[in-house]
Structure 1
Amino acid sequence: MPISAAEALLEVRGLRAGHGKIAVLHGVDLTIHAGEVVSLLGPNGAGKTTLLAAISGLLPWGGGGVRFAGQDMAGAGPRESARRGLVHVVEGHRVFTQISVADNLELAGYDLPRRERAGRIEEALAFFPEIAAKRHERGGALSGGQQQMLAVAQGLVRRPRLLMLDEPSAGLSPVLVDRVLGVVAQLRAAGTAVLLVEQLIEKALAVSDRVYALAQGRIVLEARADEADLPHRLERAYFGQDVPTPLHA
């Protein structure tokens, strides 16, 4: 599918970012269109989590830029990004363990009018009947898989135009992995774009329209998810055989 900047929901151009003096991203370009699921794949340490954090405003940029829905995101932190419809669910099912499931979701929509917030909470819970049945239980009483569902539901309360999920399958049983990734397919059907960071390549490709591979802080492959021989091409990209040689050391 040709990439048209005019139609792009998210445009990342030449993005550089890192942690302190440690540079991680070295000029990343990435585009996502409305209603599209894009997987971001790569080996551990490639910079995938750093890229999501930079897009959502959790990390400052060292160069380049991000545009979302036609707006420059320079200076927008995570709260402002979420208000614009760009929602980041971080790795590791970060939920408040001492308060109820319902209160976790209330906090996710804290700045919404009460009636609208209540409606959005019910929308989010409809994706996860397992936690809807436990809405009055503490977050800490949920299993790891249920906590991951709650973390995704928190993001859905924001009714995002783009939902960024950082390894939502981490630590989950195969059945729960399928449940969480099944929600990604439902979101796509409803018109929500998803940027998915995932280690389970086959499962990620099954719910994706396109894929980017990141290695050593650079995009080394972009392809449609249904292209022939894609797993082999990803392996080559991961191990550096297709990585462009930098012009400067």
Structure 2
Amino acid sequence: MSVLTSEAEPLLRVTALESGYGKIRVLHGIDLHIAAGEVVTLLGPNGAGKSTLLRAISGLLPVNAASVRFDGRDISNGTPREAARAGLVHVIEGHRVFTQQTVTENLLLAAYDLPRGERHARVDEALSFFPEIAQKRHERGASLSGGQQQMLVVAQGLVRRPRLLMLDEPSAGLSPVLVDRVLTVIAQLQKQGTAVLLVEQLVEKALAAANRVYALSQGRIVLEATTSEANLPQRLERAYFGHEDAAAV
């Protein structure tokens, strides 16, 4: 695995991000960066603001007093469509497939604005990561198990050939075998040069898949570290309970 080792501009840099819902401020001055081809996991207790952060980065929520730069461009308060076209794709927690459409049709919908001659090739490419649903490409979404539908949701993101894929709780509702399948896909994507920002409740698996980790608590980054640190579990525990200041490594 590779980590950011120079002062080169990262693929994603978030500076002083504040966001929330209406007058309710959830995020308070978030600083975060991700290098090209890097896997970063975002951990924190329920209600810490993890999903809110991903939504703000991808344009689903407005940001205040912040800079969000992707591939050297300012995308602060851009739209999700603009972010996806730039190569930043957000797979939203709890997203559902169109159950009356086939697997292929679901994926073609994700490719709707791509050149017509390229769409089926992108679908085939996305399905190559998930043999379980590739075998059912002509079946309706309703025929898939809950775990297979979750894999289809991830495949919809892969149709876009993202430079950065943000995954929000991809293991939700999955069996251990399918969780490992998703984590294998993350490793494959990294080998191809795709960066991943992973929000995940399965802490050990998330850390095993990542180069670096940020811990979020009450809308603030309370820890930043490499996942190779020997004392990382203890630092995470202290960060969650408010006994450690945010520390960059």
Tell me the TM-score normalized by structure 2.
0.95
CA–CA separation in structure 2 for the residues paired with 1:193 and 1:174: 24
CA–CA separation in structure 2 for the residues paired with 1:2 and 1:101: 37
SS of the equivalent of 1:135 reads coil
Range that drifts further, 135-144 or 26-35:
135-144
CA–CA separation in structure 2 for the residues paired with 1:22 and 1:184: 34
CA contact (8 A) 2:63 2:77 kept: no
**Deviation readout 1:120-177 (Å, 9 max, x if unpaired):** 1111000000001111111122111101110110000000000000010012111111
Matched, 1:204 2:206: yes
CA–CA separation in structure 2 for the residues paired with 1:26 and 1:57: 17
**Of the candidates 6, 9, 29, which is equivalent to residue 7 of structure 1?**
9
Q: Which amino acid counterpart does residue 219 of structure 1 have in structure 2?
A: I
CA contact (8 A) 2:9 2:72 kept: no
**Of the candidates 120, 137, 140, which is equivalent to residue 138 of structure 1?**
140
Matched, 1:39 2:41: yes
Give the percent of matched residue pairs that are identical in Structure 1 and Structure 2.
Answer: 72
Q: Could you say if the C-alpha distance between residues 140 and 221 of structure 1 is closer, same or farther in structure 2, counting changes exceeding 3 Å?
A: same
CA contact (8 A) 2:15 2:29 kept: yes
CA–CA separation in structure 2 for the residues paired with 1:223 and 1:192: 20
SS of the equivalent of 1:99 reads coil
SS of the equivalent of 1:121 reads helix
The 5 Å alignment of 1:79-158 reads: 79-158=81-160
CA contact (8 A) 2:4 2:35 kept: no
The structural deviation recorded for 1:11 is: 0.2
CA contact (8 A) 1:38 1:210 kept: yes
Q: Could you say if the C-alpha distance between residues 5 and 76 of structure 1 is closer, same or farther in structure 2, counting changes exceeding 3 Å?
A: farther
Which consecutive unaligned segments of at least 5 residues does structure 2 have? none
CA–CA separation in structure 1 for the residues paired with 2:76 and 2:224: 25
Partner of 1:194: 196
**Deviation readout 1:210-245 (Å, 9 max, x if unpaired):** 10000010111011011111111111111111247x
Q: Which amino acid counterpart does residue 13 of structure 1 have in structure 2?
A: T
The structural deviation recorded for 1:94 is: 2.1
CA–CA separation in structure 2 for the residues paired with 1:3 and 1:11: 15
CA contact (8 A) 2:151 2:182 kept: yes
CA–CA separation in structure 2 for the residues paired with 1:240 and 1:117: 48
CA–CA separation in structure 2 for the residues paired with 1:231 and 1:159: 33
Matched, 1:225 2:227: yes
Q: Could you say if the C-alpha distance between residues 5 and 107 of structure 1 is closer, same or farther in structure 2, counting changes exceeding 3 Å?
A: farther
CA–CA separation in structure 2 for the residues paired with 1:93 and 1:129: 21
CA contact (8 A) 1:3 1:31 kept: no
Matched, 1:73 2:78: no
**Of the candidates 229, 239, 244, which is equivalent to residue 242 of structure 1?**
244
Partner of 1:172: 174
CA–CA separation in structure 1 for the residues paired with 2:99 and 2:131: 19
CA contact (8 A) 2:216 2:222 kept: yes
CA–CA separation in structure 2 for the residues paired with 1:93 and 1:20: 22
Q: Could you say if the C-alpha distance between residues 2 and 79 of structure 1 is closer, same or farther in structure 2, counting changes exceeding 3 Å?
A: closer
